[in-house]
Structure 1
Amino acid sequence: MAAATALVIFVAAYALIATEKIHRTAVALGGAGLMLLLHITDAEAAFFAEDTGIDWNVIFLLLGMMVIVSVLRQTGVFEYIAIWAAKRARGRPYRLLVMLVLITAGASALLDNVTTVLLVAPVTFLVCERLALRPEPYLIAEVMASNIGGTATLVGDPPNIIIASRGDLTFNDFLVHLAPLVALLLIVFCLLCRWMFRSAFRYDPDRAAEVMALEEKEAITDRRLLAQSLAVLGVVIAAFVLHPVLHYEPSVVALLGAGLLVAATRVTTEDALREVEWPTLVFFAGLFVMVGGLAKTGVIADVSKAVADATEGRLGLAAMVLLWGSAVLSAIVDNIPYVATMSPIVADLVQQHGDAGQVLWWALALGADLGGNATAVGASANVVVLGIAARNGTPISFWRFTKYGLVVTLVTVALAVPYLWLRYL
């Protein structure tokens, strides 16, 4: 009974989020409240349990990086990067998109994808304003590029960290096994963008000439604060990359960096917190509670177990079911709690198949990471970018994102099939 009720609440909440008749944060809070009110979950499971509660590592990672970005914004560095990128692209809209996509994907391989979109989104608004372009296609392309690029490394996408922990995999394992495919997917993705957003690439020679005449160095308003901010950001990035050695969670690193930056500079606490996307953080908290209710009542485990049983011990079939099943489920629920629930089952399957079973970890990573592009709530980075877009007066609807996301997910996951089959099976 509890499982059925939890499923009804989640499906109803998801439908409301998709229709956008009620703000997604209100829906997430309402759904989480019902889960608690009806004793489907409780305070202990919702707030403190690792498997069924709010993932505070994600919440505080976002909070810390939002504060750092807020301080960076006050230096003029985003205006500098915007002018630099526009000049290198010579004001050509498609060239600019490709440049921003490659920058985002590359950065997402070293940072987590949420941090990357927090840094790139402000640049996008500025450069689009300079060139009189609509920012929505660029934001959608960037967030999808961040999910694709983040697939390449252990630290690039939060689900990869969970997979690495369960599978005893290293940074180099991800790089060797997934980076070659990611490079191919980025090329294909850039071509897809040319087709999907073709109506947005309108070249304005007058605006382009104005941008080419600008001097990007003049955009920097506070060089001392910029130096301090970049120093702290550099340390934070280094700590992210060295996570396997230092063993500090990314959330701890982000909070320490944010605290150090506010304490060591003349930026006030009020100014630092002003740009924090509080509705986005609250939405994540509510979503985690709802998904935790599904996990606590066994709904997600039952679905995952059924998928595992359906493969009947055949490794190739298991890899393909896991790849496509993960892509579908990660489009519906955030891929972080999904991977947290699925990884123990995959660990059992890998053990059954021996060394050859390692392909199942790559199938899970590709399905979860690439499937996160399918809908507006499929990955943490998607939700963050939609929140930033709404805050800046250019809201992106659930269905507009999903219209493009389904195409990108279908193409990229389909390309992963021959890669896994030819290399491992």
Structure 2
Amino acid sequence: MQRVAAFFALVGAVALVTWQTGFTPSQVLSVTVFAAFIVGTLLYWPFRLAFAFVGVAILLAARLVDIPHLIEFASLDVILFLIGMMTVIGFLEERHFFEAAVEKALPYVGGSAYTLMGAIMLMAFVSAALVDEVTSILFMSAIVIRIARRFHLDPVPYIIMTVFATNIGSSATVVGNPIGVLIALRAGLTFPDFLRWATPIALAALLLTIALSFLYYRRHMHDLHVAIHREGLAGAATRGEAEEPAAAAEASGSDGEGGEGAHERRGSLLFPSLLFLGTVAGLILHKQIEHWLHLGTNTMLVGVALAAAGIVLFVERHRARELVERRVDWWTLAFFLLLFASAGTLRYAGVTEHIAQGMVRLTGGALTPLLITITWSIGALTSVMDNVLAVASFIPIVGDLASQGIQVAPLWWGMLFGGTILGNLTLIGSTANIVVLGLLERHERRSVGFMEWFWPGALTSIPSLALATLLLWLQLPLLTR
């Protein structure tokens, strides 16, 4: 009953504020429906798709959007990209490609707790950048849990540090996070653009996060250091795998099948390696491919993902349908599609233009205040709601700022870092956080309290986002050239 009261109170407050600040009746209704969609999603997360369906139906019935614009706002390019990449990543997970790569690398990191956790955090960063945050945290958390079990340590501090690196790594490239895909396709940014502007800042944020995490968890790092010197690191990552195959399979996202077929999928890594390298190379070179074929910007960003998925389905043949049905998160994609359509309706109704004009009046149109406002507003929203929700709400606003002649290139990057780095602040700040909490509860019977996450999250994410904001500000002359 309290949540019902909170739902109507929050939605009513949004309607009242928009009415009092000069919005037209149609704009008030559009904002109210969108607020009901967002608040309902946050308060009743399992029913988020139901809220999405009902919200879009109301927008259509109230003539706040028509079918052609609904399709335009639905961001089908983003959805198609995610379908392709989910198919490829699902195939690689079932072949245990990522797990094998990490396990082969771990024995070479040395015998110190600091080099071990530094290497794990770096691998989490790189894997999130090259695939996505959820895939990265699935196999990295499985490795960390095995190490903690080997040394009889509480896995939570080490898991949290790994999640921090994963979320930061998801900002380094266009494929690391759905919001990166959304921003790239809306802003016309390419994979090389991310390598130039996002990756160096993400690396700087990672180094600061590693240092601050080691400081906060210095007692746990000492315990790991003592355990490594007492028992040795060799086999820590892989020991116990034979004893607990079901848990390892579930943590890595595999189907847990036994027998000859499962063994063959794990043992044959040549094709998965070639597929992974080819897909990454195609994504990096998509701009050159578009130039050679005289295609529009980012056409082959989507095309490479779909081509790689097609190759996977040819290889899988009889298991192709099963792979697509199980590995593509259709529930989430349907939610994203309706979310993007609903957020686009705000622009169609003139709401985002009204907000953009208000921001210009508040900041005088100066780029530095706008950069700080956008970056930290997205970050604050991300810490209490899904980052895709936060970014999807702001993209039309940035688009309207651009239509008023404001140079918005730095704002896109501010949105990216606000939506990823400050996801480390709370338990629900990113999808990776929620996924790893479920893994801990399922496999370790260990729950994490809000403050247990918040204090290390605050110590690391706030300075890291401040550093990212500073580095963007220092590069404003280059970004606006």
Q: TM-score, normalised by structure 2?
A: 0.67
Deviations 1:194-252 (A, max 9, x none): 24444644337389736526897999964762222222222222222223234556565
From 115, 138, 155, the equivalent of 1:95 is 115
Structure 2 residue aligned with 1:212: 234
- Is contact 1:111-1:241 (8 Å) kept? no
Q: Distance in 2 between matches of 1:385 and 1:267?
A: 32
The answer on 1:363 being equivalent to 2:414 is yes
Deviations 1:157-211 (A, max 9, x none): 4444444455555544444444443332221100222244446443373897365
The answer on 1:296 being equivalent to 2:316 is no
Structure 2 residue aligned with 1:64: 87
Change (3 A) 1:416 1:211: closer
Structure 2 residue aligned with 1:241: 284
State the Cα distance separating 1:120 from its structure 2 match. Answer: 3.4
Q: Distance in 2 between matches of 1:33 and 1:383?
A: 24
The answer on 1:337 being equivalent to 2:365 is no
Q: Distance in 1 between matches of 2:403 and 2:73?
A: 17
Q: Distance in 2 between matches of 1:32 and 1:117?
A: 27
- Is contact 1:40-1:293 (8 Å) kept? no
Q: Distance in 2 between matches of 1:171 and 1:184?
A: 19
Q: Distance in 1 between matches of 2:423 and 2:357?
A: 21
Q: Distance in 1 between matches of 2:381 and 2:61?
A: 21
Structure 2 residue aligned with 1:151: 171
The answer on 1:8 being equivalent to 2:63 is no
Change (3 A) 1:334 1:359: closer
* Root mean square deviation, CA, Å: 4.4
Q: How does 1:260-339 map to 2 (within 5 A)?
A: 260-261=311-312, 263-264=314-315, 268=319, 272=323, 276=327, 278=329, 281-283=330-332, 285-286=334-335, 289-290=338-339, 292-297=341-346, 303=355, 305-331=357-383, 332-335=385-388, 336-338=391-393
Give structure 1 stretches of 5+ with no counterpart: 17-23
Q: Distance in 2 between matches of 1:366 and 1:174?
A: 12
- Is contact 1:79-1:123 (8 Å) kept? no
From 85, 100, 115, the equivalent of 2:106 is 85
State the Cα distance separating 1:102 from its structure 2 match. Answer: 1.0
The answer on 1:424 being equivalent to 2:453 is no
Larger RCO (CA within 8 A; separation ≥ 6): 1
Deviations 1:115-149 (A, max 9, x none): 54455344444444444444444443333323323
Change (3 A) 1:382 1:417: same
Deviations 1:76-102 (A, max 9, x none): x72573364156343x55433221111
From 48, 51, 59, the equivalent of 1:31 is 51
Deviations 1:363-383 (A, max 9, x none): 333333433444455445545
Query: Which moved further from structure 2: 249-258 or 224-233?
Result: 249-258
Letter in 2 for 1:14: L
- Is contact 2:398-2:411 (8 Å) kept? no
Secondary structure class of the residue paired with 1:205: helix
- Is contact 1:163-1:343 (8 Å) kept? no
- Is contact 2:125-2:166 (8 Å) kept? yes
Q: How does 1:193-212 map to 2 (within 5 A)?
A: 193-198=213-218, 200-201=220-221, 202-203=223-224, 205=227, 209=231, 211-212=233-234
Structure 2 residue aligned with 1:414: 466
Q: Distance in 2 between matches of 1:421 and 1:259?
A: 42
Change (3 A) 1:272 1:119: farther
State the Cα distance separating 1:408 from its structure 2 match. Answer: 3.2
Letter in 2 for 1:347: A
Letter in 2 for 1:345: D
Q: Distance in 2 between matches of 1:393 and 1:277?
A: 27
Letter in 2 for 1:344: G
From 71, 81, 84, the equivalent of 1:49 is 71
Q: Distance in 1 between matches of 2:370 and 2:117?
A: 37
Seq. identity, %: 21
Q: Distance in 1 between matches of 2:320 and 2:187?
A: 41
Change (3 A) 1:237 1:80: closer
The answer on 1:228 being equivalent to 2:260 is no
Secondary structure class of the residue paired with 2:269: helix
- Is contact 1:228-1:261 (8 Å) kept? no
Secondary structure class of the residue paired with 2:277: helix
Letter in 2 for 1:289: L
Change (3 A) 1:237 1:270: same
Q: Distance in 2 between matches of 1:267 and 1:86?
A: 37
- Is contact 2:343-2:392 (8 Å) kept? no
Q: Distance in 2 between matches of 1:392 and 1:358?
A: 44
Q: How does 1:103-182 map to 2 (within 5 A)?
A: 103-117=123-137, 120-182=140-202
- Is contact 2:356-2:401 (8 Å) kept? no
Letter in 2 for 1:365: L
Q: Distance in 2 between matches of 1:225 and 1:361?
A: 41
- Is contact 1:374-1:405 (8 Å) kept? yes
Change (3 A) 1:110 1:270: closer
State the Cα distance separating 1:56 from its structure 2 match. Answer: 1.8
Structure 1 residue aligned with 2:19: none
- Is contact 1:67-1:258 (8 Å) kept? no
Letter in 2 for 1:71: E
The answer on 1:184 being equivalent to 2:207 is no
Change (3 A) 1:70 1:196: same
Q: TM-score, normalised by structure 1?
A: 0.74
Change (3 A) 1:214 1:122: closer
